[in-house]
A and B are shown apart, each in its own frame.
Chain A
Amino acid sequence: MSGFRLSRGGRIDRAKRLAFEWDGSQHYGYQGDTLASALLANGERILGRSFKYHRPRGVMSAGVEESGALVHLWRGARRIPNAKATQVELIQGLEAFGQNAWPNVRIDVGAVNSLMGRFFGAGFYYKTFMGVLGRQTWEWMFFEKIIRRAAGMGSASKEPDPDHYEIVNDHCDVAVIGSGPAGLAAAETAAQAGLDVVLIEQDFALGGSLLSNVADTVEGDTVEDWQAGRLAGLSSKGGRVWNRTTAFGLYDHGVVGCLERVTDHMVDPHHAIPRERMRILRARRVIMATGALERPIAFGDNDRPGVMLGHAVRTYAERFGVAAGRRIVYAACNDEAYDDAASVAEKGLEVTLLDPREVVPDHLAAMADEAGVRLLKGYVPVEAHGRRGVTGLMIGRHLGGGKARSEREIGCDTIAVSGGWNPAVHLLSHRGVRPVWSDRHLAFLPGDAGREPIHVAGSAAGVPDTEGAALSGRAVAEAALRALGKGGAKSRKAPAACPAGETQPIYEVRVKAPKLKSFVDPQNDVTADDVRLAEREGYVSVEHLKRYTTLGMSTDQGKIGNVIGMALMAEATGKTIPETGTTTFRPPYTPISMGAVAGTERGTHWRPTRRTPMHAAHEKLGGKFVDAGAWKRSWYYPKTGENLTTASMREARIVRDTVGMVDVSTLGKIQVQGPDAAEFLNRVYSNAFAKLPVGKARYGLMLRVDGVVFDDGTTWRLSETEFFMTTTTANAGPVMLHLANLLQTWWPDLRVHISSVSDHWGGVAVAGPKARDVLMDAFEGIDFADQAFPFMGVREGMLKVAGGGTVPARVARLSFSGERAWEVFCPADYCPAMWETLLRKVQAAGGVPYGLEALDILRVEKGHVTARELDGRTTATDCALGGMESKKKSYIGSVLKEREHLTRRDRPTLVGLRPVTEGEQMKAGSILCAQGEVVGDGLGWVSSIADSPVMGERIGLGFVRGGLTQWDGKTILAESPVDGKSVEVKVVSPHFFDPDGGRMHG
């Protein structure tokens, strides 16, 4: 117990007491508290356990850089791991738990790891478990599992997230990130000039550093009046203020990724309100007023509960009315810490300040004296004492450069550390702008933003004093105005980067003995020795250092330890810090939940579900569906007791015996119009289209530019200048893109217009010996007699709908099944009527509806190809379609299809496959091998299979080197690489059924 609530002060509402739960016991805080401030006020010290060593940890900071108080929130499906208690707004009923510990953070069995600390240095896992023990992959995998369990952070719930999230698109002229003095001044200035401004603040309270009472006045006003004035000036011009919103990333062209925490601070939010909202903000200019983060100093056991950042101790006192302890030692190496120490001392707490300098400027000494701060000149912190919380500090005489001689222990319960300030340049780094080292600040300042539409103001730009920051905000806003062509008559010059005082270059305190465990990055348990070890082993690049030691990884992302790590590496390698490098910060600035990234695109909303216009009719018939891309395609219509195989075989047999109808609406459909349409198609297809007569359709084969088959389909000539093209289901989009590309970039002179009409027309194929009987009287104006409507004929007419009325239809005599067949298309909205009308006639003729599975059986029996064969690797010749390709014209792919490897005689070509032994079933995807030569990828593969009713067995299509010429009638092995079983198959012609086509032509 060391922290407590001060009797007065703080920006909390003491009238609103909030009950919350910490590790099962009830505590109280106030409105305006964070979880961290409330826990500190309740005297809780050990709030977490560290990543590797399970060392007890407490609150270290008051903001996003928190590395100690990482906790679980809530239970069950809503459990949130790794929440930084310093960022969690306290609400009535909040439930929080310690994590990464068993049975709890105060008594953690895993702490034995810390006894073996010397074995757990950087790279230990890899060296031991991969190098010494884990010589086999399985050994490494075995050890890794155990290691992962012992080390780590919180654990996420495995249940589905019960909350929902949304993504919102937004725009503004100027986005101001951060609502401290610089941000407030910038936002108001830009808004007053008539620009659309958004002010973004990650905290629930506005004000940034002003919340910690760093100044009494700003620009001559009291802080309260000044802040209210700026906000009034912003809102009067329509400026928006987004608090509880983190600008987590800057992206190209002024895009700001923002995450708004919408309901986490509400006790009982309405279920319709999303928990979080991702705001994708497109800003014409961005002003970063992101402030600066204090960095610690590495010294012995500087991770003990009670060791905190110096300014954080002040923030708890000023903003939350919480004393972190009663006896506080400020261990600082910069002038700004004097003001923090004085502020804390004025709350009536006992404060000692260590300054490494023997001689301290008079005004600082006077400030300490006036506030009652005991000043110890020439001292640095050596080692914190107290395993479960600070009980004292060994201090040492500073010998220079961080080296010290231990002198004595002073009693204290809190050590407030300040090693200097790092401007929060992270967002600029997202844009690839490297920060620049400043010897005056002993920190990285933002680099030149170049052509990025980004300005940096306030302490983020190295202007830390409140007046300077406000001026900097105004000046930068005026620069943004000028960039947007709104430059005013007079504009201020931004104040030059200037530190608020001196900072001594002390990053780590070292003594001759004892050996200290000094943490550089407490969140990842990286010590100063780990950094030196990395250097000795050759990981001297900052990027290698990070990966070898995990310095700056995880939720911290280099906020705490980055500069210290670099300073130690610089020292070890004898270089300067800028020579050592900078790391690249990447988005997100602070963790964001995956739910917010997904937004509403989850479950079935991840992508659209496409249903054909006849979907409801298939459902009514008890039809089953199969997913084909985004489509739900009708698959088969089982009768009682039937499964996929028996139902589809029955359907296929009935098509061959009488008639069937199938929904083919998923085919891509493209209307090709214009005086040059025929010429265009003649260049696009490998077979001739220029002379296709009106009223005729033709099967067309399209190649890619490299000569490989792209797609096939039929194209119908409706008039001299109008064609109706169909594509395969899967290639509807790619073919449209291909054609658009050709017309817009290759042949802009062609007078052709294309439109995708895939969704506008739906269609069915009616196939079977009785198809003509079914269709004969179904239409007005179409004669189905053989002479009047020959094979490949195209007619337009009106379908007479059951119950009266007609609907327009396009009909072509085409056959994929090998039967006498017609494809009938009509506008999508009329499709249910078409389906119902034709189904009645089909059923009256003894026929049935059939699905994709039967369609596949019928086409395999005919040796017709689909995407299984046209798989992006095969040529037309490979698929036995080479004869179709025109030799008289040039077309897309006609040159490169003649490449040497595409014309080799030993390429695998299309064949039919039948089992040698009755009843044996080859599998699709099997590798075809010569008997006794089951090696590698064999001689080819099985591309499609079908349980064929007319053949009475499972047949297949496949590709074999040498094709029919070499293998006709011979036996080959179909070896399944999945189960290792092989089936003897005979190579035959791919045209199993009715090879001369008498049934479809007759």
Chain B
Amino acid sequence: MIRIDCPFCGLRDHSEFTYEGDATVQYPALDAPMEDWYEAVFLRENPRGPHREFWRHVGGCGSFLEVVRDTVTHEITEVKLAHPGMAAATGKAAAKTTEKATGGSE
């Protein structure tokens, strides 16, 4: 059972999440040519090692997370919110907490 550190909810079990696919796929514009859509929808890499993928915290906050997971060892080296605005917001929040914790001299 792998465990994922959700930026909102903390470290939670795999059973709270659903796998939502390859996060390296760039979906094209809605009016992009057929070849681009074909590539995005049907062609997938199957890497051995670190893989960037989406997981949804369906049994928690509902967020889509971007997770870097090693497909061999299940080691997870990065977790952030998939929504860039949310990722930036939570990232900043985390940085603030750290400042406080280290008791910034100003």
Interface, chain A (partner B; CB < 8 A): 169, 251-253, 255, 280, 282, 432, 450-451, 683, 705-706, 737, 740-741, 743-746, 748, 890-892, 894-896, 898-899
Question: Can you report 10 residue pairs joining A to B where beta carbons are below 8 Å apart?
Answer: A282-B13, A741-B56, A744-B81, A744-B83, A744-B86, A748-B83, A748-B86, A891-B30, A894-B31, A895-B37
Shortest beta-carbon distance, A197 to chain B, in Å?
Answer: 19
- Closest A residue by C-beta to B54: A745
- Closest A residue by C-beta to B3: A253
Q: Which of A253, A450, A741, A746 contacts B1 (CB 8 A)?
A: A253
Inside 8 A of A743's CB, which chain B residues have their CB? 83
Cβ–Cβ contact A895 & B31, under 8 A: yes
Shortest beta-carbon distance, B54 to chain A, in Å?
Answer: 6
Inside 8 A of B60's CB, which chain A residues have their CB? none
Interface centre among B3, B32, B37 (most CB of A within 10 A): B37
Cβ–Cβ contact B73 & A451, under 8 A: yes
Interface, chain B (partner A; CB < 8 A): 1-3, 13-14, 18, 20, 23, 27, 29-34, 37-38, 40-42, 54, 56, 58, 62-64, 73-76, 81-86
- Closest A residue by C-beta to B2: A252
Tell whether A741 pairs with B20 under 8 Å between CB atoms, given A252-B2, A705-B41, A706-B41. yes
Cβ–Cβ contact A740 & B41, under 8 A: no
Inside 8 A of B20's CB, which chain A residues have their CB? 737, 741
Shortest beta-carbon distance, A551 to chain B, in Å?
Answer: 28
Cβ–Cβ contact B56 & A895, under 8 A: no
Cβ–Cβ contact B34 & A745, under 8 A: no
Interface centre among A255, A744, A890, A898 (most CB of B within 10 A): A744
Cβ–Cβ contact B34 & A748, under 8 A: no
Inside 8 A of A892's CB, which chain B residues have their CB? 30
Tell whether A890 pairs with B30 under 8 Å between CB atoms, given A705-B41, A740-B64, A745-B83. yes
Cβ–Cβ contact B64 & A745, under 8 A: yes
- Closest A residue by C-beta to B81: A744
Cβ–Cβ contact B56 & A890, under 8 A: no
Cβ–Cβ contact B3 & A898, under 8 A: no
- Closest A residue by C-beta to B18: A737
Shortest beta-carbon distance, A680 to chain B, in Å?
Answer: 12
Inside 8 A of B84's CB, which chain A residues have their CB? 748
- Give the 5 A-B residue pairs with the shortest CB-CB distance, closest first: A890-B30, A890-B31, A744-B64, A253-B3, A895-B37
Inside 8 A of A169's CB, which chain B residues have their CB? 13
Q: Which of B1, B18, B64 contacts A255 (CB 8 A)?
A: B1
Cβ–Cβ contact B31 & A748, under 8 A: no
Interface centre among B18, B30, B62 (most CB of A within 10 A): B30
Shortest beta-carbon distance, B94 to chain A, in Å?
Answer: 19
A737 to B74, CA, bound (A): 24
Tell whether A745 pairs with B82 under 8 Å between CB atoms, given A282-B3, A899-B34. yes
Cβ–Cβ contact B82 & A896, under 8 A: no
Shortest beta-carbon distance, A2 to chain B, in Å?
Answer: 48
Tell whether A737 pairs with B56 under 8 Å between CB atoms, given A745-B83, A890-B30, A894-B30. yes
Shortest beta-carbon distance, B53 to chain A, in Å?
Answer: 11
A883 to B41, CA, bound (A): 25
Cβ–Cβ contact A255 & B54, under 8 A: no
Shortest beta-carbon distance, A966 to chain B, in Å?
Answer: 28
Shortest beta-carbon distance, B42 to chain A, in Å?
Answer: 8
Cβ–Cβ contact A252 & B74, under 8 A: yes
Shortest beta-carbon distance, A875 to chain B, in Å?
Answer: 15
- Closest B residue by C-beta to A171: B11
A282 to B75, CA, bound (A): 15
Q: Which of A280, A451, A737, A894 contacts B75 (CB 8 A)?
A: A451
Tell whether A896 pairs with B1 under 8 Å between CB atoms, given A705-B41, A744-B63. no
A706 to B42, CA, bound (A): 9
- Closest A residue by C-beta to B70: A451
A705 to B36, CA, bound (A): 12
Inside 8 A of B41's CB, which chain A residues have their CB? 705-706, 896
Inside 8 A of A252's CB, which chain B residues have their CB? 1-3, 14, 74
A343 to B76, CA, bound (A): 51
Inside 8 A of B81's CB, which chain A residues have their CB? 744
Shortest beta-carbon distance, A796 to chain B, in Å?
Answer: 27
Cβ–Cβ contact B82 & A895, under 8 A: no
Cβ–Cβ contact B32 & A744, under 8 A: no
A808 to B41, CA, bound (A): 44
Given pairs A252-B3, A890-B31, 9 additional interface contacts (CB within 8 A)? A169-B13, A253-B74, A432-B73, A705-B40, A740-B56, A744-B86, A745-B64, A748-B83, A895-B34
Cβ–Cβ contact A748 & B2, under 8 A: no
Inside 8 A of A748's CB, which chain B residues have their CB? 83-86
A759 to B85, CA, bound (A): 30
A890 to B30, CA, bound (A): 6
